[in-house]
Amino acid sequence: MFCGCAVEFGGQANSRVCPVCLGMPGVLPVMNKQAIEYAALVAMALNCKISNFTKWDRKSYYYPDLPKNYQISQYDLPLGKNGFVEIPLIEDIGRVGFSPPIRSRWGEPHPTMQTKRIGIIRAHLEEDAGKNLHETGNFSQVDLNRAGTPLLEIVTEPDINSGAEARELAMELQRLVRYLGVSEADMQKGHMRFEPNVNLFITRDGREYKTPIVEIKNLNSFRALERSIDYEEQRQLDEFLETGQVMQMGTKTTRGWDDEREITVLQREKEEAHDYRYFPDPDLVPVEFTEKWLSDIRARLCELPFKKQIRYVSEYKLSDYDAGVLTAERPTAEFFEAVVAAGGDPKRVCNLITQDYQRLANEKGCTVAKLGVTPQKVAELANMVSQATISATASSTIAAISVFDLIKTPQEIAQEQNLIQKSDAGQLEAIVDQVLAENPKAVSDVTGGGKKSDKARSFLLGQVIQKTKGQANPKVVSEIILKKLG
């Protein structure tokens, strides 16, 4: 944030450090302009009010991975404040003593999506601390490679009511920063982390009690985030019923999540704001945004993933699930829209991308957009399925070939592979007659009605498909069988 050290995940411990991020005497920090712009971009996407004037403050505390014994942060004048983010609504049945939370589903398709707004108190920029390692033996080690890395801290209002809601928020924030190109947001690499502050409001005998706030750390997955909150909720209720302890000055604590035992473990008492002894950093000038600078940053905003997901449900009549899959990554969403713009039926295109091309992209370790297949060819393939030129099974074969043969069109591949469906009723009728003659028992079951009728009809259809080596149009064959047998 304030020096030129490289950020490298997995680098040799303490090899990406310099006198500035180590806080050596006499050094002077220099602001990272791109980090400031990235932070402002995220704050705008979170609907925050951007401060035209903000300053840097020193947040004083001692910890082994903080070499300066203070952190350069923002206190009373954060970069952004008073914003909000929307998440899918979660059915509120995940409370203590009830079954696990279930995410609402709205059918397929559904014109609207129910949402919940989570308030954002502030989004402020600061430098990260290093990392304490507790891997082996009865000692700890300190890696300062991460010290000084730009860190945007987003503080929410207490609007989250369950571990499931926290998980939804975390996943939405990950999508958001990836869409903006601000971060890869890989939790396993420390690009993004979440530290929920949990306490309960308990009504008892007409009075409301608030349990002491607990901040949970050491969360490296969305699953851990959700489970730690659910565990802490139950633990605090049990503790209150046993001790009656309520929130007051000095009772806030930090607990670490033990992923193996799935419990939180007390680490230390948590400081209050006055304990940090904030004061303006004397080595850094304030940041003053001009209208032109803010306008240039705002121009980088794109349609955000959750709004895009809602639009896909409404405009393209996709299910919430499919819309969520398509909008998980910006390149995939943009590729989908390019295919639809090229004339592809949205639902057929969605099926091709989510079921076939996404699998092929995963095998190649890239996004769908990087496979090399043009939107025009995917649109052509989707329309061939819609027009019954080929079967859905054949489309998967053509999709797989199209990734390796970028020259031929889907039509050309289908012809080469003999995948074009036979829809000529006259030609298929002769084959149907042959199958009926060869299978009198099945014919009898169909004409006799009853429970065996549907199974026998499917058997006859399968025999025709088999004789045509999969090229017969099932719809046309079914119509011929119906005409002949009723």
Q: Hey, which bits of 76-162 come out as E strands?
A: 80-88, 115-127, 131-133, 141-143, 150-156
361 torsion bin: left (phi>0), alpha (psi -120 to 50), beta (else):
alpha
96: pLDDT strictly greater than 60: no
Query: What tokens were used for 215?
Result: 């901040």
pLDDT for 396 equals: 93
Query: Which of 170, 150, 152 is CA-nearest to residue 160?
Result: 170
First to last CA, the chain: 76
pLDDT for 374 equals: 96
* Preceding omega of 25 cis (within 30 degrees of 0): no
Average pLDDT rounded to a whole number, residues 262-285: 88
Q: Domain boundaries in the chain?
A: 33-293, 329-416, 425-485
Q: pLDDT per residue over 308-335, tens digit each?
A: 999 999 999 999 899 999 999 999 999 9
Neighbours of 356 (CB within 10 A): 22
pTM: 0.82
Residues near 163 by Cβ (< 8 Å), separated by ≥ 6? 94, 101, 225, 226, 227, 228, 229, 230, 233
pLDDT for 422 equals: 63
Query: What tokens were used for 440?
Result: 């009198």
Q: Which letter does DSSP use for residue 270 in this model?
A: P
pLDDT for 470 equals: 67
Q: How far is CA 95 from CA 102, 169, 283, 320, in A?
A: 11, 18, 48, 25
Percent residues over pLDDT 90 in the chain: 68
Q: pLDDT per residue over 331-375, tens digit each?
A: 999 999 999 999 999 999 999 999 999 999 999 999 999 999 999
**CA 267 to mean position of chain CA atoms:** 30
Q: What is 392-440 written as a DSSP string?
A: HHHHHHHHHHHHH--SS-HHHHHHHTT-PPB--HHHHHHHHHHHHHH-H
Q: Which numeric CATH code is attached to 425-485?
A: 1.10.10.410
Q: pLDDT per residue over 280-309, tens digit each?
A: 999 999 999 999 999 999 999 999 999 999
Please work out, in degrees rounded to the nearest 5, the angle formed at the alpha carbon of residue 69 by the alpha carbons of 64 and 74: 120
